[in-house]
Amino acid sequence: MTNQEKVFRPVGGKLDVVALEKAQIARWVEQHAVERYLARNAQASSRYSFLDGPITANNPMGVHHAWGRTFKDLYQRYHTMLGERQRYQNGFDCQGLWIEVEVERELGFNNKRQIEAFGIDRFVDLCKARVDRFAALQTEQSKRLGMWMDWDHSYYTNSDENNYTIWAFLAECHRRGLVYKGHDVMPWCPRCGTGLSNMEIATEGYREIRHLSLTIRLPVTTPGHEDEDLLIWTTTPWTLSSNVAAAVSSDLSYLLVEGRDGRRWWVSHGSKDRVAGDASVLRTAPGRELVGLTYQGPFDELPVQQGVDHTVIAWDEVSDEEGTGIVHIAPGCGQEDFALAREYGLAVLDPIDQFGIFKDGYGWQTGRFAGATADPSEDVALDIAADLERKGLLVARDGYLHSYPVCWRCGTQLVFRLVDEWFIRMDPLREPISKVTRQIQWLPEGIGLEERELDWLRNMGDWMISKKRYYGLALPIWVCVQCEAWEVIGSRDELQERAVEGWEAFEGHTPHRPWIDAVEIACGSCGGRSRRITDVGNPWLDAGIVGFSTLRWNTDPAYWREWFPADFITESFPGQFRNWFYALLAMSTVMADEPMTRTLWCATSTARRCTRARATPSRLRRRPRRSAPTSCAGCSVPPTPR
Ligand SMILES: [Zn+2]
Ligand SMILES: [Zn+2]
C-alpha cells in the first residue's frame, strides 16, 4: 500500500452530484442544521429585515426561479453570519387571473359563461386548491435547492390578512379622494373578458403580428371640394364602422393628388410616395386648412351611424411616418380617440361587448367577433375589406407586421373597448412616490435604476385596479342600489358593523367571491341597500401590500415598526419597475410615506445591457408617434401603430 492510498480513500470514477446533494440535505436534517440556523440569532439586538417578493404559486419552479432564490438565500445567510436577527419569511403569490386561466385549462373552459355555469364557489375553491398544491411543491423544491427559510411561516397573498390590509390601503386612498370610477377605453382580452391595466401590457404584453391593413377613401362633403377624398389607413379594420372623425396635423403639409376614377386624394406630403406613388400633385395646403371639412363615413348606412357628423379635426400627435398622415378616429375603440372625443365633443360609438362581439346596430357585423380568429376565413377584417371594395371605398390592402398587444395570461390578441373600471388617481401621488423612490439605494449603481423607476412614475397613467373576474381580492367597494352612492370599506370589522344582510352566509369564509358578495350594508347617504361591486382587484395590489400585511401592520404596530422598512429587497431584472416595485412604492407612500426598503438590488448579469433610462409613453399608444420612443434591449415598450 502506498502512502497516498493510506491518506485518501479511493473515489469512484463517476460523480453523482444529485446523490451528493441528497446526502448533504439528509445530514442537515439529521443535525437539525436549519432549525439551529433559524434560531441562532433570535436574541440578537440588531436586526436585518429582508422582504421576499412572492413567487407565483401556479406551476413548479423553473430554473430562473432557482437563480433568484439562490441570491435571496445567499444574502440572508451572510447576515446570519454577521449575527443579525431575521425573519426568513418566504412568500407565495396566490390570487389573480394567472391562476384562473390555469384552472380554466384544467376544466377545459374557454370563457366566463362556462365558469358561471360551473359555479363561482366551486371555481374559486379549485383556484385555492391549485395554489395550495403548487406552494407546497415549490416549498419542497426550494428545500431541495438548499434554501433555508422558515417554511412553516411563509406568507400567502390570498390570506385574509393580506386581503384586509389591501382594504385598509384602498380606504385610505378613498379618504384622500384618489379612488374613482372611470369611463374610458382600455385594452381588453375578449377571451378572459377583462380589462388589462397599462402596466400589465407595458411589461410583457406585445407580440409581432401581421394584420390586414387597409387604405380607404372618405369622400369630402363640404361644398367646393367635390371629387376630393381623404385617404386614411388602418390596421384595425373592425374599428372603421365606429369612425366619427379624421385627424390631421395642423403643421404638416398636405397634398391633393390625382387619384383613380376621376377622384382626387388628400394625403400628407411625407406619405405621398408611399401611398400615391408618382401621382401628379394638384394642390398643397397646410393641415389647418383641412380642419373642419366634413366627409362621408365608411359605414354611414349603419343604424349606429345615423346622426353622426364626420369632420376633420386637428391633432398634433399625427405624423406621416406611417399611413397617409390622416388618422381615422373611433372614440369607442382607442384611448387617444376617446380623449379627443372629450376634447372635441365627438360622438362615441361603443361597438363590442365583453367577448369582443359586435353589438346591435352594426348591420352584418352585429354578432361577429371583432378580434383575430384562429380560422382566418372567419376574420371579420376580410369581410370588411370586401364590403368597402363593393362600395368603391377601398384604395389598397396589404399585410402589416407590427408589435401588437396580447393578453399576458392567455395570449389572445387584445382589443380596445369602452369600459367602466375603478382607478386610483396617480397625479396627486406622482411627486410623493418619486420622493420616496429617491430615498432608496438602487443597486447596482451607475446603470440608472432609480432614474428608470422615476421615469415610469413621471409617465404612468392612473392605476386601473378592477377586473371583471372571479378569484382575487374582493374590491371593498359597496354601491347603493337606490342612490348609487359608493363607499370603500376598510376592514372586516367595519364590514361586520355595517352589515345589514348576508353576514351569516359570509362568516367562516375567506373574503373572496362569491361568499363576500352576500354581505349588504346600509348606504351612508340615503340609508338604502348597498351591494359590493362584483369586480376583483389587480393582482399587483396583492404583492404590493406585503410590506404591511406580512409585518402585522393590522394587529401589532410595534412589530411592524420594528421590521419596517426592510433593509433589502432583491429581484431579477428587468420587469419589476412597472409592477412589483411600483406597487410597493405606491402602497408604501400612501400607508407610511416612507420607502418599503432601504436598499433594492436588481440581480442579473444582463443588467448592464440597459444603461439609460428610456422615455416611456404615458399611455399605451395605438398611433405612430411623431418620433418613435427610444428603447433598451430587454425592456422595450413599442408603440402599437394603427
Ligand atoms: Zn386573456
Ligand atoms: Zn343610497
- Span 236-291, pLDDT tens digits: 999 999 999 999 999 999 999 999 999 999 999 999 999 999 999 999 999 999 99
The ligand with the least distance to the CA atom of 483 is 2
Query: Alpha-carbon distance 223 to 589, whole Å?
Result: 58
pLDDT tens digit sequence for 96-109 = 999 999 999 999 99
Return the amino acid letter for 620: L
274 CB contacts (<8 Å, ≥6 apart)? none
Query: Alpha-carbon distance 243 to 232, whole Å?
Result: 11
Distance 514 CA to ligand 2 centre (A): 23
Q: What is the pLDDT of residue 5?
A: 59
Q: What is the pLDDT of residue 517?
A: 98
Would you give the end-to-end CA distance of the chain in angstroms? Answer: 82
Distance 503 CA to ligand 1 centre (A): 33
The ligand with the least distance to the CA atom of 531 is 2
Burial environment of residue 360 by CB neighbours within 10 A (0 to 12, 13 to 18, 19 or more)? exposed
Which DSSP letter does residue 517 get?
A: G
Who has greater pLDDT, 11 or 24? Answer: 24
pLDDT tens digit sequence for 158-197 = 999 999 999 999 999 999 999 999 988 999 999 999 998 8
235 in any annotated domain: yes
The ligand with the least distance to the CA atom of 101 is 1
pLDDT tens digit sequence for 64-82 = 888 889 999 999 999 999 9
292 CB contacts (<8 Å, ≥6 apart)? 222, 311, 312
Cα four-point dihedral sign 512, 162, 69, 152: negative
Residue 578, sorted as left (phi over 0), alpha (psi -120 to 50) or beta, turns out to be: alpha
Distance 238 CA to ligand 1 centre (A): 19
Distance 144 CA to ligand 1 centre (A): 34
The ligand with the least distance to the CA atom of 98 is 1
Distance 140 CA to ligand 1 centre (A): 30
241 in any annotated domain: yes
218 in any annotated domain: yes
Distance 22 CA to ligand 1 centre (A): 41
Helices (H), 414-524: 427-438, 449-459, 492-498, 503-506
536 in any annotated domain: no
Q: What is the pLDDT of residue 377?
A: 77
338 three-class SS: helix
Q: 91-93 and 155-156: which strand pairing?
A: parallel
382 in any annotated domain: yes
Mean pLDDT score, 463-469: 94
Query: Alpha-carbon distance 641 to 626, whole Å?
Result: 12
SS (H, E, C) 270-306: HHHHHHHCCCCEEEEEEHHHCCCCEECCCCCCCHHHC
User: pLDDT grade, residue 4 (50/70/90)?
Assistant: low
Helices (H), 469-545: 492-498, 503-506, 539-544
Q: What is the pLDDT of residue 635?
A: 28
pLDDT tens digit sequence for 374-398 = 787 789 999 999 999 999 999 999 9
Distance 404 CA to ligand 1 centre (A): 14
Burial environment of residue 3 by CB neighbours within 10 A (0 to 12, 13 to 18, 19 or more)? exposed
499 in any annotated domain: no
Q: How many helices (H) and strands (E) does the chain have?
A: 20, 26
Q: What is the pLDDT of residue 89?
A: 97
The ligand with the least distance to the CA atom of 415 is 1
pLDDT tens digit sequence for 408-455 = 888 899 999 999 999 999 999 999 999 999 999 999 999 899 999 999
Distance 411 CA to ligand 1 centre (A): 6
Who has greater pLDDT, 47 or 616? Answer: 47
Distance 286 CA to ligand 2 centre (A): 54
Residue 192: closest CA among 367, 418, 409? 409
Q: How many residues does the chain have?
A: 642
Which DSSP letter does residue 366 get?
A: T
Number of structural domains found in the chain: 1
The ligand with the least distance to the CA atom of 530 is 2
The ligand with the least distance to the CA atom of 486 is 2
Which DSSP letter does residue 47 get?
A: B
Distance 523 CA to ligand 2 centre (A): 5
Burial environment of residue 397 by CB neighbours within 10 A (0 to 12, 13 to 18, 19 or more)? middle
Which DSSP letter does residue 220 get?
A: B
On average, the pLDDT of the chain sits at: 90
Q: What is the pLDDT of residue 1?
A: 55
Q: What is the pLDDT of residue 199?
A: 74
The ligand with the least distance to the CA atom of 112 is 1
Q: What is the pLDDT of residue 373?
A: 82
Distance 397 CA to ligand 1 centre (A): 29
Distance 533 CA to ligand 2 centre (A): 14
User: pLDDT grade, residue 459 (50/70/90)?
Assistant: confident
- pLDDT of residue 616 exceeding 50: no
Return the amino acid letter for 343: E
Angstrom CA distances, 221 to 230, 298, 418, 572, stand at 11, 13, 29, 57
The ligand with the least distance to the CA atom of 194 is 1
Mean pLDDT score, 353-368: 96
Q: Average the pLDDT over each of 408-417, 504-513, 600-609 and give the range with the smallest value.
A: 600-609
- pLDDT of residue 509 exceeding 70: yes
The ligand with the least distance to the CA atom of 469 is 1
Residue 455: closest CA among 613, 637, 574, 608? 613
- pLDDT of residue 621 exceeding 80: no
Q: What is the pLDDT of residue 617?
A: 30
pLDDT tens digit sequence for 13-71 = 888 999 999 999 999 999 999 999 999 999 999 999 999 999 999 999 988 888 889 99
We report the CATH number of the domain holding residue 252 as 3.90.740.10
Query: Alpha-carbon distance 109 to 92, whole Å?
Result: 26
Distance 501 CA to ligand 2 centre (A): 16
Angstrom CA distances, 518 to 481, 491, 509, 537, stand at 14, 16, 11, 18
338 in any annotated domain: yes
424 three-class SS: strand
Distance 190 CA to ligand 1 centre (A): 7
User: pLDDT grade, residue 575 (50/70/90)?
Assistant: low
Residue 528: closest CA among 567, 590, 482, 463? 482
- Domain of residue 380: give its range: 209-349+375-405
Distance 272 CA to ligand 1 centre (A): 39
The ligand with the least distance to the CA atom of 105 is 1
295 in any annotated domain: yes
Q: What is the pLDDT of residue 427?
A: 96
Distance 478 CA to ligand 2 centre (A): 10
CB atoms within 10 A of CB 197: 25
The ligand with the least distance to the CA atom of 523 is 2
**Beta carbons of 355 and 373 less than 8 angstroms apart:** no
CB atoms within 10 A of CB 616: 21
Distance 114 CA to ligand 1 centre (A): 15
Distance 525 CA to ligand 2 centre (A): 5
Distance 581 CA to ligand 1 centre (A): 24
Residue 523, sorted as left (phi over 0), alpha (psi -120 to 50) or beta, turns out to be: beta
Q: What is the pLDDT of residue 577?
A: 86
